Every structure is written in C-alpha cells, then in structure tokens.
Structure 1
Amino acid sequence: MADTLLDDVGALLRETADQVVLPLFRKLDDADVSEKAPGELVTVADRRAEEMISAALRRLRPGSVVVGEEGVADDPTLLEHLGGRADVWLVDPIDGTSNFVAGRQPFALMVALQTGGEPAAAWVLDPLAGTLAVARAGEGTWLDGRPLRTGDRAPTLDALRGAAMSHALPPAARARVEAGGARLGELLPGQHCAGREYLDVLTGDQDFVLFWRTLPWDHAPGSLLVRAAGGVARRFDGADYHPAGEGHGLLVAASERIWTAAREALLGAG
C-alpha cells in the first residue's frame, strides 16, 4: 500500500483551516481571546484546531504522542517526549495568533513528525494564500505539489534579502544585527508568523530568516522543510537545530553559502 502520510496530514490541515480557523477569522469576540501567559494570546480557534488536528494525528499513528503548543501550555511535561524514541507530533494550530486576533495576515497551521528522536516529516499551510509545503527527511520538499530545491541559491551579499526578529534579541545582539543589516540588500522586521517566514525562504521571497525564540512547534516544521530542500537551519554557533534542544538563536537560510554570508554579516564570524 502506498504511503499517503504527506497527503493525509496536508488534507487534515486544509480541513481544519476550512472548518475551524477561517470561520473565526475577523469574527472573534472578546470572550474568544485570553492570555495563557503575559503577552501570549490564545483563542478558541487555537484550542479547537489543536483538538481536531491532535485527534486525527493519533488515529493516523496509534500510540503516537502529540506535543501541541496549547497542550504544553497546560502540561509542560509533554516536552519530555521530544527526547524519546516514540513517534511524536509537534503541532502549532495557529502560528501567528497575534495576527489572527488582529484580523490581519499571515498566520499558518503547522505540524511536524519526529520518529526515533529525529525530525521525519513536516507540513506548513498558509490558509489565506492556499500555500501548502510538505517535506520528508531524506526525500525532499514539495510546495503546492511541486518539488522544490533551494540549495543552489547564491546571491551576492548586497543582494541578500531576509528577516530578523531583532525586537526579541538582547540589546547587544540587536545592535549588531541591525548594523550588519546595512550590508545586505534588505533586512526585514519579520511578520510575526514563523510559518510564513519559512515559506518565504522556500519561495525565494527571502533568502534567510533570523529568530531568537526557538520553541519546537514554531521551528520543527519549517526547519525540516528548508533542510529537505537543500537549505540550512542552525543555531548561531553553527549547531544544527533540533526541536529537543534548549537555548536561543536560530539562523535559517536557503543555502549553505547564504547561511555563511548572513551569519558573518549579522553576527560576526566568531
């Protein structure tokens, strides 16, 4: 029997967007939005979407564990599964919740599958654009059904275009990144949606993106998408990103050459 996992989860995300997320876009009441932590918003759409996605993923892989953003907010011990060998689903039901609450785009639905302790497959859906990216480790990345490669991109330094979440950086690092951005073609402020940033690296709208916060549900899907397409997702010190890893700082680029050039410009060679 053919393995239909990539198609099945992609269809699940589209169904969830159509049935749960988009019907509430720009239709939230005050009672539909709350803070799960200071400055961290959650909506009824986040919770309902995670419930729908999680139930379906468990049916697809009986015995698997779901580590969802909203589930972890209620039970942080779920993160311990990331260091194990079981099948683990990482779920961000609405990435870019602040955009969703404000009635603006972009926002995304994201899932990653980890097997044997390593990322195995990933999905990111921008429901307003209709764009779906999927990947399987060792096999490749597909954007709206078309195979995609980014690893041969090598623009000159003054043509590089990318985003940096500089508002979240410590002051010294922020100053360094903003000063280094003057050497590039364009340094963007970010879209408050990691999923869209990753999609833009895949499409070529951006060559790189720099993050400070590296929560696993925000970056497990996108980092695998970029890597499987020939790109790079590494910590500032050059270590490959892993969802179970702790710490801050992540630089993602469409190719090895872009990563090296962007890191030196924004963070220095040391």
Structure 2
Amino acid sequence: MIDEVAALLRDVAATAVLPLFGGLSETDVREKAPGDLVTVADRRAEELLTEGLTRLLPGSVVVGEEAVADDPSRLGLLRDTGDVWIVDPIDGTGNFAAGHPPFVLMVALLRGGAPVAGWIYDPIAGTLAVTEAGAGTYVDGLRMGPPQPPPGPAALRGPAMIRFLSPELRARAAAGTRRLGAVLAGQHCAGREYLDILAGHQHFALFWRALPWDHTPGALLLREAGGVAARFDGTPYDPADDRSGLLVAASDEIWHAVHTALLSAESPT
C-alpha cells in the first residue's frame, strides 16, 4: 500500500493542485477562519484523496482537514478502532495561494488509533517521504537516520514559532535562542519542516499548533528515522490529543538540548 498511496498523491498533485498553482483567481480562495485560507485546489485534492484512499482500503474512514472544517465532530473518528486516514490535501495553503512554495500533500494511516504509515509529498521539489511503523523512513528511496554524531547546541538550527507561546514561555524561549546555532522563522508549511529535518538541513522544529493533519505523518516519519516528536512535557505526539505545543527533533539528544535551551525553567536567561 505504500506505493499505491504514493502514486495517488502524485496523481492528485498533478491533476488537482499543480494546474492551479500560480493561477488562482480571487474567487478560488477564501478564509474558513481568520488567517486560515482554503482554495478550490484544497477541496478538490481532498475529494480525490478521500475517494482513492477508501478505494484502496474498503471500510476505512477519512479525517481530512477540510472535512473537519465543515464538521468538527469528525475529529472523534481519530479514536476509531478501525482504519482511519488523516489527510492534509495542501499543507502550506497560504504559500500555495500566494503562488510560491513550499507546500506539500500529506497522508497518514491510523489503525486502532495508532499511526502505522505516513506519506509527505512535495510536488515542486519532487520529494517523497514514506514510512511504515517498524520499517524505517525512506526519502526518495533512501533510508533516513539521525545525524551521527549529533551536533552540539551551538550547531543546532531549526524553526521555532515562539510568538504563539504564552507570555512566560515566550520570554523564556526568546532568551534561550542564543544558546542554539540558528532559530528560524519557519516556512509556513509543517510538512516541509519535517522533510528538512529528515534531510539534515535543520535539526528541530518547535510548533504551537499541533493539528493531526499537520503533524501525524511527519511525527511517524521522524520517529521511524530515529527522531522524536513530543509535547513540551515529553509526552509522545498523539494525533487525538488536542493540546497545543509540539517539539520535534532529529534525535533524542537534540530534542533534549533544544528543550533545555528554549523551554526548561532551569535554563539560564
């Protein structure tokens, strides 16, 4: 099924997403919530992915970002004991609507509430990351692993969405940024952040919003590559947990180094 879902993502990107990239009209884009855009490409891509995924796995259900926007009760399906697909038809919609990358398509499969497979596809870069629980993570056919040896704190780089933290956490994190090599602004596309961690272009990412379609595929991809995706208290990421705050990193050592620098009450300011 890994290859079948990958083929579906490529096909949906080619037929529903890329033809509209850079060519959306004003009527093709709307706000579903303040600052949260949706386009006709998002909706069409989710329709096609939903049709294709349920055809691949009869009896399964889909929790898609746009379907949840229309009916929030669908989030309850994340606790379903059967097969549940999580779909982000276009992650980075703001970038897509503005006519520039990055943006990606993402899918994850839950079985009994636990993630068992994940896919991230960047159609502009042509990059595909896939994983199956217990089988490792592959990016464009190459198996990924954590950096060896792990770099020290002064060499670490990655995005941190500090502005969304509570005032106390924001002040602590802002003071701790100088302990790391580079704290970046972020690319407005969670899936691309995961791909860049897997590729070694950055080492961590700190998010405030932790919605299941934004993070379930990437969290599993990262864990299967020897990385960590955990809440600020160290609890492993669970897509059905609706708390905010998520720190992901290429290895356990890096996770703890970034947590100490940005979030620990004991970190020097």
Q: Which bin holds the TM-score, normalised by the shorter protein?
A: over 0.9
Q: Partners in 2 of 1:60 and 1:269 — Cα distance?
A: 48
Report matched runs for 1:137-216 at 5 Å. 137-150=133-146, 152-216=148-212
- Among residues 46, 52, 58, which one is paired with 2:42 in the alignment? 46
- Among residues 48, 53, 56, which one is paired with 1:60 in the alignment? 56
Range with bigger deviation, 171-180 or 185-194? 171-180
Q: Partners in 2 of 1:108 and 1:177 — Cα distance?
A: 28
Report if aligned partners of 1:151, 1:231 keep a CA contact under 8 Å in 2: no
Range with bigger deviation, 171-180 or 113-122? 171-180
Give the aligned residue type for 1:34: R
- 2:250 aligns to what? 254
Q: Partners in 1 of 2:265 and 2:35 — Cα distance?
A: 34
Report matched runs for 1:66-145 at 5 Å. 66-145=62-141
Runs of 4+ in structure 1 over 6 Å off: none
Deviation at 1:83, TM superposition (A): 1.2
Q: Partners in 2 of 1:174 and 1:127 — Cα distance?
A: 34
Q: Partners in 2 of 1:150 and 1:8 — Cα distance?
A: 27
TM-score normalised by structure 1 residue count: 0.96
Deviation at 1:171, TM superposition (A): 2.5
Report if aligned partners of 1:153, 1:255 keep a CA contact under 8 Å in 2: no
Paired-residue identity, %: 61
Deviations 1:85-112 (A, max 9, x none): 1100000000000011111110000000
Q: Partners in 1 of 2:265 and 2:149 — Cα distance?
A: 21
Q: Partners in 2 of 1:41 and 1:259 — Cα distance?
A: 31
C-alpha RMSD over aligned residues: 1.1
Report if aligned partners of 1:151, 1:256 keep a CA contact under 8 Å in 2: no
Report if aligned partners of 1:208, 1:258 keep a CA contact under 8 Å in 2: yes
Give secondary structure in 2 for the equivalent of 1:224: helix
Unaligned runs of 5+ in 1: none
Give the aligned residue type for 1:98: G
Unaligned runs of 5+ in 2: none
Q: Partners in 2 of 1:60 and 1:220 — Cα distance?
A: 20
- 2:237 aligns to what? 241
Report if aligned partners of 2:79, 2:112 keep a CA contact under 8 Å in 1: no
Give the aligned residue type for 1:256: D
Q: Partners in 1 of 2:27 and 2:132 — Cα distance?
A: 39
Range with bigger deviation, 92-101 or 145-154? 145-154
Q: Partners in 2 of 1:103 and 1:176 — Cα distance?
A: 35
Give the aligned residue type for 2:152: T
Going from structure 1 to structure 2, the CA distance change for 1:269 and 1:225 (only over 3 Å counts) comes to farther
Q: Partners in 1 of 2:255 and 2:161 — Cα distance?
A: 16
Give secondary structure in 2 for the equivalent of 1:18: helix
Count of residue pairs the alignment pairs up: 266
Q: Partners in 1 of 2:213 and 2:198 — Cα distance?
A: 18
Q: 2:14 matched to 1:18?
A: yes
Report if aligned partners of 2:65, 2:89 keep a CA contact under 8 Å in 1: yes
- 1:264 aligns to what? 260
Give the aligned residue type for 2:135: E
Deviation at 1:167, TM superposition (A): 2.6
Report if aligned partners of 1:207, 1:253 keep a CA contact under 8 Å in 2: yes
Give secondary structure in 2 for the equivalent of 1:243: coil
Going from structure 1 to structure 2, the CA distance change for 1:158 and 1:144 (only over 3 Å counts) comes to same
Give the aligned residue type for 1:204: G
